[in-house]
Structure 1
Amino acid sequence: MKRFLRRLFLFFLPFLVVTVFFEIYLRSVNTIYKEKLSGLHKNGENVEMLIFGNSHANYDINPSQLDAEAYNMAMVNQSWFYDHAIFEKEINKLPNLKYVILSLDYHSLYFSSQGLRDNWIYYDYGIDNAIDWTTKTSRFWFGYTPKIAFAMLKSDINKRIVSFRKHKKTVNYHVENGVNILDTMANGWIPYKAGKNKKIKEKSAQNRAAIFNSKINNLAERQRNIKLLKSFLQELKQRNITPIIVTLPCHELYNKNIDNEVREKDSKEVTAIVNEYGGAYFDYLHFVKDDSMYYDCDHMNRNGATYFTQQLNKDIKAKFPQYAAKN
């Protein structure tokens, strides 16, 4: 029996060692979530404009091109549910906040859960959307999953190699493919790199649009998000914070493959809500037509984001005299 138990222990030992290693690693490693939140806390007293939204706002709105002191707290796949939760958690640390930018994309009304990313926002922002106890107990097996944990470790090792070879600092957190690891985050923003562009093909745009087309039938989720938007805008109004809702530009190959009847219906309803509670809604879906400005069919690169945000800044100044007067 002792021999059997010893063999059993030796069999499971590698799994135990790997698990302990990754549980420690995943609790200590820096992430883009931690980096964004840390930057917000460091600059909180100066922030006048907070940018929320999913990956479109995350990559496409360059805070340095806005006249107000802006900070980008948008994130990949971030829903309005989490935009609002982050706002609620951080608002008391932002005494000079005057504007909130909220992105309205084709699918914004049709989801709240971020899937696996719900766990990550719990780990780094402390927002608990009914995260189960197993996920809280093991970040390796349930929180990130082994596949993502190994990818993060591989990325860390690769960054160290690049830093050594080029004698330059890399970012010390995991970023998506297409982001330059030698770049630096500025006011919460680290963009897709510009340069030699990959050709945007019709098939890839169709496939991307199909992902979002599959979400837009969730009418119960839509109703919840409409209710959330009204509540959010009401709270901003009570705090004398101006909401600015923005639909970000997408490539025309993508735009022609989404259900534009649904999009127009959603835009009209959101416009009516904004008119009721105050603020502004800007629709830029077709604004950027130059292929060289895009990283892929629904995200811009650094140059596109800078070009677009300059226009956004002009439109905010034209809409709000107090913004223009201040700057």
Structure 2
Amino acid sequence: METEALVPLALPRGQKLHCELCLAPATVRCGRCGVTYYCDVEHQSADWVSIHEKICSLLLPLRTAFPFYNSEKERKHGQEQKISREKFLAGLTHTVAQNFLFEGKHEDAIPAALHSLKFSISVYGSDSVELVPAYLILAEASLGLGHLPQGEEYLSQAHWIILKNPHSSSATQSNLHRNLGLLYAARGNFEESLRHLANDVYYASCAFGTNSVAVSGGYFHMANVFFRQNRMDIADSLYTEVVDIWHQHFCHLIDLQYQTLMTPAAIDMLSEEVETADETLNEKEKAEATQMLGAILEMREQSARPQLAKIAKVVHALAMLHYLTRDLPKASSRVCDKSPADDEAAAQTGAR
């Protein structure tokens, strides 16, 4: 990473430079692109690790002076190119931020999400529903870091935009209510948390179906709230629903693989099919399944009265998850960890 200290006296009169991340007065700029500025080296380093290394050279056409256009047609074409670049960068930075969230790297997600928000505002305007995904990533990352006031501010922005755009998708509404539910749970306002998480389940069901894995997150976080309230019967029921949804989903994916590999053409192309099979389980699903099922298994194993059938089903679901993600050693270890009693209990639950 290259840095270059700014010389204030060399700046044109009246020109002010601001930090890419916090908008404070800038004192450092990127020595590669020369068009990105920071308040200090710490913020520059954070941006570099998160996203700037990937987009450094792509910022040059956007932040250098526009050429002189000889005609209105040329000017319009130049503007269209600028918008196209910004749309691409808005999508790229959003994807990078989301991937950091999947990995639990909340701090690294924030700079990329801030870039996504800025590019989206430039393309769509400050009140567009297209800004909501960036606000929600920023909110989720802030909540993950324990920065509740900042997370609430981002959620308020997202909520306000959705209120002004009543035709927002059910998937977007689901994501908003899930984050609001997590915010209120972190503050100990369990009733308000449960209300928003119930809305999360409703909108996710509308968008993806009642048995979709997209619904499982709402159930999981509701179960966590009931667990914290010591309402164990309700929590256990919801945890069971989460396991059932993922178990059924994994069984379906493995069935699809089996049916594909049993066709003569597929057998001849076995290696190619194996390479593409895991595309049916996206990165978000992998991360959520690992988090939810791992937490439920730990909770069930530490219970004062462990229920072998329920433990076996979680273990079997995790084994299928590792198989689908081609982590065969982990899949094998999950199977080997089960006792004969677990196998018997799994058979009683109908686990395959």
Q: Larger strand proportion, structure 1 or 2? A: 1
Whichever structure has more helix as a proportion of its residues is: 2
Q: Which of the two has higher C-alpha Rg? A: 2
Q: Work out whether the TM-score is over 0.5.
A: no
